[in-house]
Homo-oligomer: A and B are copies of this chain.
């Protein structure tokens, strides 16, 4: 570890947290989940990314799962660690630090955060049950956020696209078990923020051998009923196993 002997007095123990960028589509806009935070002497609502300091003997990956479970009740999401944000500049805003010290009842000098991202299919309605302390904010209409949370969200949005390219599986976390071609296409359109040709998208979907037709159809719609497809995990794993990639 280099020359730390000469710098022992400079050694220190930062706090380490995880922050989760949970993405979903609300009103056809790519949105992120934010949690309310109480700011002393302020009437308006303030929001931040769901996050937590990590516990002793807790793996950061587990901490991220815990944070999202506590916020949404969801378990075992496909969470991806995508970057550590550790600049001392993160805590340059005194208001943010003061809020954090009040909330954590700890003296905070510096805090590193490990950022995670996930896609999810939770609907606005389901979140209401958690008591109005959660909101979905469209990524291009974010409220004021503490620390570098905006920067974290920006990084997450560009990260999710390359993640999907490498692991298409994750978009199916965002969809119900049975879904229509339209739903899958809209998912891609929202995440990549561009329209996709319907016919070309069908071809692309056919090329995904792990997207299989079911014998169910939409019912009660005032137009030709769409077929339902499902994601075949076994076929997917066969195709995407590391073994095949070498």
Binding site for B on A (CB under 8 A): 1-5, 7-8, 10-17, 50-61, 66-67, 70-71, 81, 83-84, 86-89, 100, 103-106, 109-110, 112, 114, 162, 166
Contact = CB atoms under 8 A, between A and B. Distances in A.
Contacts of A86: 16, 54, 59-60, 114
Contacts of A5: 103-105
Contacts of A81: 83-84
Contact of A106 (B11, B51, B54, B162): B11
Contacts of A53: 1, 4, 11
- Give 4 nearest A-B pairs by CB, closest first: A13-B13, A2-B52, A84-B84, A60-B86
A83 B185 CA distance: 31
Contacts of A109: 56
A2 B65 CA distance: 12
Contact of A71 (B2, B66, B67, B87): B2
Nearest to A48: B1
A100 B7 CA distance: 15
- How many identical chains are in the complex? 2
Nearest to A16: B14
A82 to B, nearest CB: 9
A89 to B, nearest CB: 8
A199 B70 CA distance: 57
B59 A87 contact: yes
Contacts of A100: 1
Contacts of A2: 50-52, 66-67, 70-71
A55 B105 contact: no
B57 A88 contact: yes
A32 to B, nearest CB: 17
A88 B58 contact: yes
Given A12-B55, A55-B7, A1 B112 contact: no
A234 to B, nearest CB: 25
Contacts of A84: 60, 81, 83-84, 114
A14 B56 CA distance: 8
Contacts of A57: 88, 110
Given A14-B13, A60-B84, A52 B112 contact: no
A58 B162 CA distance: 30
B52 A110 contact: no
Contacts of A54: 14, 86
